[in-house]
Amino acid sequence: MNAEMLYALRDVAGVPSHPVTFLILGVLTFALHILAVQVMLGASGLVIWGALSKAAYQRQLAQAMLGVAKIAVSVAVVLGVAPLLFVQVIYDPFWYTSNVLSAWWVIGFIVILTVAYLLMYFFYAKNHHLGTQKTICPGSMILSLALMLVVGFIMHVLTYQMLSPDQWMQWYAPNGEIDASGRKLHDYNLWRFGFFISLSVLVISGWLFAYRHYISHRTDVDNGYLQWLKGLATVLSLAGGIVALAFGIGWMATLPDSQAGFGFSPWVGLAAVLISLTAVMPKLIGSRVNAPLFGYGLFGLAAITVIVVAIAREVLRWNILFGDFGYNALDYPVNMDWYSTLLFFGTFVIIGGLVLSYFLTVAWQAGQTEGVYTPSPAVTRLGNLSILLITLWIIHFFVLGLWVWLR
Ligand code: HEM
């Protein structure tokens, strides 16, 4: 496999904006995706832990985390589509080949994810009062988490296979015999996969501190529960940090020979420092964790750590594809389309920003209110404005489509 072959697999239409835009957005959205995945995995683990226990606090936490897990899946899915779009724009020769080589799993991914999500909702439907009533069918939640991990593993394999263009021919036609079934997952690295999954322990610990702070203002929350949460989150933070570092070291030790020195690069060093800092921070700040800055800040720190991990992961991909195979994603021919670029950022900032502010305000205020929540006139106006803007956006979408079609 030579560089010309890889370049020949590019889209002849070029890309509609500078490739660096897609590269940066790809890293950022991947970081957000994996953060939501980690919250979902961590919350699901706590749900199972609580659902199988008789201890009151564990069950109370399980009930709260079930709500978190089911929302986090939808956030992870929505935020998974974004890096999917960006990776296939600038790395299309690699991404599509990897997908076609395991096509059966790419389609299976959707079915498995659907079943996993349905199982979670089944468990939710059967266990509305996990805090006070006996658990019904915990197996559905366990199976849901196991299938979510299978989904993540498929994503890992697709991302991993794209880094080995020198092996594609061997996978496509082992010993000269073509295998076009797409049924095989050809390559994986359990250290790398384990690293991203194990980070969920560290991330959920930050989430628990934020959750604890969020509910601490409510009069119906028992102080013993808040103390217990603090102890649990501190232990999870330390344990999560150690496990993630161990998997990270395993990943760096199993890199291809050409990238053996990457483990000592500044980005990896920074990621390792941030993981360690996030892990020990609850111990360092002690009782200051009750202040809003620290209560919410610990999750913020975990998010920054994940962004740096995502940058390091991208630098590694760049080093492999450019360093080992001569493919430069940044020299993708640009066929500048200002309208779609402005539309993208406009939608993201104006519509996304406004609608998200509305949702977050309502969710935040509703969660802090005892009894029935009624939004203020200002919040209602924000909601109406969001609906108006979305309606205008949809009309614009069809009008533009018709104009292009009839032109
Ligand atoms: C809900 C369960 C999911 C889990 C546990 C999961 C987990 C993961 C993991 C661990 C990775 C990193 C793989 C690696 O670098 O080795 C990853 C990457 C990725 N995931 Fe997910 N994922 C899930 C769902 C989704 C969904 C539904 C989508 C898309 C709709 C998606 C899109 C992506 C993409 C595009 C990447 C690679 C991004 C890149 O290489 O730049 N994921 N996911």
pLDDT in tens, 141-162: 999 999 999 999 999 999 999 9
Q: What is the pLDDT of residue 397?
A: 94
Q: What is the mean pLDDT of residues 400-404?
A: 94
For ligand 1, is residue 148 a contact (CB within 6 Å)? Answer: yes
pLDDT band (50, 70, 90) for residue 75: very high
Provide the 8-state DSSP code for 15: B
Q: What is the pLDDT of residue 271?
A: 98
User: In Å, how far are 6, 97, 160, 161, 256 from 164, measured between CA atoms?
Assistant: 12, 10, 8, 6, 10
Query: Are the C-beta atoms of residues 295 and 210 closer than 8 Å to each other?
Result: yes
Is 122 a residue whose pLDDT tops 80?
A: yes
In angstroms, rounded to a whole number, what is the distance separating the alpha carbons of residues 164 and 168?
Answer: 7
Q: What is the pLDDT of residue 299?
A: 98
Is 1 a residue whose pLDDT tops 80?
A: no
Q: What is the mean pLDDT of residues 372-391?
A: 96
For ligand 1, is residue 194 a contact (CB within 6 Å)? Answer: no
Q: What is the pLDDT of residue 230?
A: 97
Locate the ligand 1 atom nearest the alpha carbon of residue 73 and give its number: 1
Q: Where are the alpha helices (DSSP H) in 287-337?
A: 292-318
pLDDT digits (tens, 9 = 90+) for 94-113: 999 999 999 999 999 999 99
Q: What is the mean pLDDT of residues 82-101?
A: 97
Q: What is the mean pLDDT of residues 169-188?
A: 97
Q: What is the pLDDT of residue 369?
A: 82
Rounded to a whole number, what is the largest CA-CA distance in the chain?
A: 71
For ligand 1, is residue 196 a contact (CB within 6 Å)? Answer: yes
Q: What is the pLDDT of residue 225?
A: 97
Query: Are the C-beta atoms of residues 204 and 46 closer than 8 Å to each other?
Result: yes
Q: What is the pLDDT of residue 254?
A: 98
For ligand 1, is residue 37 a contact (CB within 6 Å)? Answer: yes
Q: What is the pLDDT of residue 370?
A: 78
Handedness of CA 39, 56, 121, 380 (dihedral sign): negative
Q: What is the pLDDT of residue 47?
A: 98
Angle ∠(277,282,284) on CA atoms, nearest 5: 75
Q: Whose CA is nearest to atom 13 of ligand 1?
A: 156
Q: What is the mean pLDDT of residues 356-365?
A: 93
Handedness of CA 47, 53, 54, 55 (dihedral sign): negative
pLDDT digits (tens, 9 = 90+) for 224-237: 999 999 999 999 99
Is 392 a residue whose pLDDT tops 80?
A: yes
Is 268 a residue whose pLDDT tops 90?
A: yes
For ligand 1, is residue 70 a contact (CB within 6 Å)? Answer: no
Is 2 a residue whose pLDDT tops 90?
A: no
